[in-house]
Amino acid sequence: MRLALALLLLTASAAAAQTVVPTRPIRAQNVISADDVTLLAEETPGALAALAEVVGKEARVTLYPNRPIRPDQIGAPAAIERNQIVRMVFSRGGLTITGEGRALDRAGPGEYARVMNLGSRQIVTGLVRGTGLVEVGP
């Protein structure tokens, strides 16, 4: 009985030790699908261990087959592209100001990007909130 329990515990811990790796080369800026990745039965420190953490994300760098994927190598798919005209929004209290700007960076939701205000030509940094929308402010 104890041997069976010990074997069960060893099997469970071995199954938990996994690493996500690409099955083929994935170029930067490509969205990762379930067919692009698989799990290795070994743990790699600093690497992602669940397919759900990777599928649907965008590669920030080229990912090579059988090399562990680290969190800094992937991110949310881009919501704004470089040189895209975006809407800038500044809100404080009851005041909301909007304007147009040109994105100077490529970024996904929750990431910061530089934007040039088309009216003043001033460059500001803002938080990407969605497709074509950047929240600027202090």
Phi first, then psi, for residue 8 (nearest 5°) are -65, -45
Sign, CA dihedral 101-107-108-114, equals negative
**Structural class in CATH, domain 85-136:** mainly beta
| pLDDT of res. 16 | 61
Q: What is the DSSP letter of 44?
A: -
121-130 contacts, C-beta under 8 A, 24 or more apart:
124/88, 126/88, 128/79, 128/80, 129/89, 130/79
Q: What is the pLDDT of residues 28-79, one digit of tens each?
A: 999 999 999 999 999 999 999 999 999 999 999 999 999 999 999 999 899 9
- The CA-based angle 9-10-14, given to 5 degrees, is 115
Q: What is the pLDDT of residues 103-117, one digit of tens each?
A: 999 998 999 999 999
The fold of the 16-75 domain, in CATH, is Type Iii Antifreeze Protein Isoform Hplc 12 (3.90.1210)
Domain 16-75 and domain 85-136 have a common topology? no
Q: How far apart are CA 72 and CA 83, in angstroms?
A: 24
* Nearest Cα to Cα of residue 91 among 133, 138, 49: 138
Band (9; pLDDT cuts 50, 70, 90): very low
Band (17; pLDDT cuts 50, 70, 90): confident
Domain ranges (residues) in the chain: 16-75, 85-136
